[in-house]
Amino acid sequence: MKLWLIRHAAVALPPGLCYGITDAPARADATLAAAEAVTATLPRHVPLWVSGLARAQQLAAALQRRRPDLGAARVEPRLNEMDFGRWEMQAWDAIPRAAFDAWMADFAHHRFGGEECTQRVIERVAAVVMELHTAGIREAAWVTHAGVIRGAHYLRAHGPRVIAGVHEWPEHVIEPGACVELVF
């Protein structure tokens, strides 16, 4: 199966904020530029899935306006970004070091911010991949988030097992508004 993973455009927030599940909008100019850049990358009639968050839905709508052949996007909440709980909308550098240390000590299962753990993100992504595979879907495009894209890369490299630690989590992720192709 071939996936085109498209990261939402740059958000309309100050830099340095933790904004996982927060429904922060993307910048309109960045969304239009991303749609223009990604449009030619996607094959004709590729089914489109989109996170339930506004910043991803903005880009999906812009892509559909440029490419009517993509049809209606399927909203898939499992493609939402990680829920960072009490750390949402906090400056990353204001989050206590002890919170990061606890997360790194149990990267798979610690609920950073009290809500969602990394392993849960991996499981959400794996469930969508398996659903597409079971349905016989050979290619799809996801408009989603950095954590989901990292989760997909983790699954491609390691399969659906429990992540051993932060050393297995992909360091690099595409920039906002960019697209990467991943084959499962």
- In angstroms, the Cα distances linking 134 to 4, 104, 128, 155 are 18, 34, 10, 16
Torsion of CA 14, 4, 62, 74, to 10 degrees: -100
Q: What is the pLDDT of residues 67-98, one digit of tens each?
A: 999 989 999 999 999 999 999 999 999 999 99
Of 132, 133, 184, 173, nearest in space to 8 by CA: 173
CATH no. for 2-183: 3.40.50.1240
Which pLDDT score, from 0 to 100, does residue 28 have? Answer: 98
Tokens linked to 161: 């097992």
Q: What is the pLDDT of residues 36-67, one digit of tens each?
A: 999 999 999 999 999 999 999 999 999 999 99
Instruction: Name the residue with tokens 């950073």.
Output: 112
Q: What is the pLDDT of residues 111-161, one digit of tens each?
A: 999 999 999 999 999 999 999 999 999 999 999 999 999 999 999 999 999
Residues in the chain: 184
Per-residue pLDDT band at 165 (split at 50, 70, 90)? very high
Residue 133 has, within 13 A of its CA and on its CB side, a CA count of: 9
Per-residue pLDDT band at 184 (split at 50, 70, 90)? very high
Which pLDDT score, from 0 to 100, does residue 137 have? Answer: 97
Give me the residue spans of the domains in the chain. Answer: 2-183
Complete DSSP assignment for 87-116? GTTSBGGGS-HHHHHHHHHTTTT-BGGGS-
Does 6 have pLDDT greater than 90? Answer: yes
Tell me the average pLDDT across 99-119: 98
The CA-based diameter of the chain, rounded to the nearest angstrom, is 49
Does 107 have pLDDT greater than 90? Answer: yes
